[in-house]
Amino acid sequence: MLYGGIEAGGTKFVCGIGNPQGEVLDKLVIPTTAPKETLSKVVEYFMQVQSEHSLNGLGLASFGPLDLNPHSDTYGFITSTPKQKWQHVNIKGELEKALNCEIYFDTDVNAAALAEHRWGAGIDKNNVVYITVGTGIGGGALVNGQLLHGLLHPEMGHMRLGENNAKSDFAGVCPFHKNCLEGLASGPAIEAQWGIPAEKLPDDHPAWEMEAKYLAEGIANIILILSPEIIILGGGVMRQRKLFPKIHKHVQALLNNYIQKPEIVENIEDYIVPAKLDKHAGLLGAIALALNEGES
């Protein structure tokens, strides 16, 4: 049983094939340039794959915002992304036409939540939140074992935080929202606040405590609104493992014993955890979408 996956990212597309055990058997990285050029390379890759293997399904995990409403005229489109060339691109439809097969489609972060549920930190949990903290901040979720959609899909990175953590005159780097989580705590936000890229900041720099406070505030709100059974943090910034104990401490302080569950008041280190699939996270997310639909 082989499944294909396409991780569509703002800087690169990752195409590959994997099996139901979550092993990646082949992989190709394609830089994200103009839609026509990038998508034609994706098609070329899977034409080659299809000539050698029979795929049981193909999944596409994409940056967004996306139109995931099957009843909409623009179902399968990337919609209002700041990446101008990719606005209103019918990514699902064009790939399906060229490859002559159905493609299972969702946001990169919903797909990552699904992959962590299947093979990673969220096994045995039916209510999973996955948050990526990198060049942007995004969140996906499984609720009662199903991907969370609704009107659109979660855009957790844009929730508004309190201002008390911020350096006095810093309202974030998000062009849409003052004091939103992504604007205050993404990689570019760290660099904008401190003048140094995150990966060059020393371990004892005050930036890390503030970063943990921002993320904790966002996570506390997610707990109060969505009540997940586990919160999984991935993305480049979260490779800084020193953030985890700080986040745990601040989430407990913010919730202040209001939610009296041992997962939060006692064993929070098993409740807010690093992603396990970080290496192939996006690609495995796409493969998990194909597997998920194949089974449903």
Q: Which of 54, 84, 168, 256 binds a second copy (CB under 8 A)?
A: 256
Considering the rule CB under 8 A, would residue 88 count as an interface residue with a second copy? no
How near is the Cβ of 262 to a second copy at its closest, in Å?
10
Considering the rule CB under 8 A, would residue 209 count as an interface residue with a second copy? no
Stretch that binds a second copy, among 91-99, 159-167, 196-204, 240-248 (CB under 8 A): 159-167
39-48 — which CB contacts under 8 Å span 24+ positions?
39/91, 39/94, 39/95, 39/98, 41/13, 42/6, 42/13, 42/15, 42/95, 43/95, 43/98, 43/99, 45/15, 46/4, 46/15, 46/99, 47/99
How near is the Cβ of 174 to a second copy at its closest, in Å?
9
Reduce the DSSP state of residue 277 to 3 states and report it. coil
Considering the rule CB under 8 A, would residue 65 count as an interface residue with a second copy? yes
Q: Which of 51, 164, 168, 296 binds a second copy (CB under 8 A)?
A: 164
The beta strands (E) that lie in the chain are given as: 3-8, 12-18, 24-31, 58-62, 103-107, 128-133, 137-143, 146-147, 230-234, 272-274
Q: Which of 27, 177, 205, 239 binds a second copy (CB under 8 A)?
A: 177
Token pair belonging to 164: 């008390």
Stretch that binds a second copy, among 1-9, 32-40, 53-61, 256-264 (CB under 8 A): 256-264
Residues paired with 234 in a beta bridge: 132
How near is the Cβ of 242 to a second copy at its closest, in Å?
24
Q: Which of 205, 249, 261, 276 binds a second copy (CB under 8 A)?
A: 261
Contact 108, 155 (CB under 8 A): no
Contact 189, 196 (CB under 8 A): no
Q: Residue 29 or 123: which CB sits closer to a second copy? A: 123
- Residue 234 is classified by DSSP as E
How near is the Cβ of 234 to a second copy at its closest, in Å?
18
Amino acid at 101: C
Q: Which of 162, 197, 206, 245 binds a second copy (CB under 8 A)?
A: 162
Distance CA 294, CA 117 (A): 16
Q: Which of 139, 172, 235, 282 binds a second copy (CB under 8 A)?
A: 139
Considering the rule CB under 8 A, would residue 27 count as an interface residue with a second copy? no
